[in-house]
Structure 1
Amino acid sequence: MQLKLKKYKEQLKDWPQNGHHIMAQYDDETIVVYQSYKRAIGEFAAKNQYFGGGFSLERMTWIKPNFLWMMYRNGWGTKEGQECVLAIHLKLDAFQTYLENAIISTYKDNLEISREEWQNQVKQSSVRLQWDPDHDPFGNKLERRAIQIGLRNEFIHSFAKEDIILIEDISDFVKEQYQFVLKNDLDKLIIPEEKPLLFDDEVLNSKLNLK
């Protein structure tokens, strides 16, 4: 694996406890996002290094840069149809472009537009942005909010191939680490190293409510 790993408890002390944060593994050029699929789709992607085969380009696909939030959603790879866990190394500039074009999936009064205008934007947009409660390894809700991004139309086409640097099947790693969760032994739990992401673009940071 090319993922950088670190003990969960060592990271926990440095992570923000509340607010909106894009918790992710990234550098100046790449960012890692996670998805889970049934074996046929996930194995095709890992083998061919792009999404094809049974992967649908016609429906919205959701990506999550936060490993533990993905583990909450897929039950550490135990949920049916989500057994194959992928770490997708994306071009950071492509990820930023997604967010620049994103429309938030839930209307809020501070959007400075009417509900009708927002509804029209959601219908027309090819990128959805959603903030959800983050979760700890056991699936308990946290005060911190985690991001997920829905892609469709031209963005799902670029995501499926051009925006990808590397696709890793990390299913075995997930299974191994889940054993420590089941045994309530978080001292041994190792996960991808993550930190909050802020962009150089302050307008984008403000749009995303990042601190």
Structure 2
Amino acid sequence: MDKYKNKYRIASARAPFWDYGWNAAYFVTICTQNRECWFGEISNGVMELSDIGHIAHSCWHEIPNHFTFVELGAHIIMPNHVHGIIIINKIDDGRNDDHYVARNVETQNIASLQNQTPPKNQFGPQTKNLASIIRGYKIGVTKNSRQIDPDFAWQSRYHDHIIRNAKSYQTISEYIINNPSKWSEDKFYTT
């Protein structure tokens, strides 16, 4: 385990070779603190949203209003987590190569690892990237949810996966859509 300012810390789960502000489709999973089921429950394979679940759902759809370079793929609000595909599609994502051109949703902004210019600063500016999008989403849900229950909280981190090809995009989309029907098999399942 790494140390920072003489304290142990968990190493970043982010890919060090990737700039999360680059155009790509990202599969994200965001969990509630202690995997508490704030968002509702699964009944007969269908997600029934609680009031806080409706907030999480509404805030998800609001993401492109706050980040105009974002398009959304499949998503699902589960009892204690959110799965979704966030597509960053900037007209100019700052890359210096002629190989990469911002692609639209029709090609699902599949991430290419070929001819990637390494990130200029791996800590880089924390705006207009995946972390800032997730942070904004979590803040919006938290602010509104705490009006219903002041104890609502998220897990501090989130999981992401850079989607590399159309087959993976399709598989992940189907996984997200079918997640409620397979809730009892889910690694985040709680009763």
- Give the TM-score normalised by structure 1: 0.25
Larger relative contact order (CA 8 Å, sep ≥ 6): 1
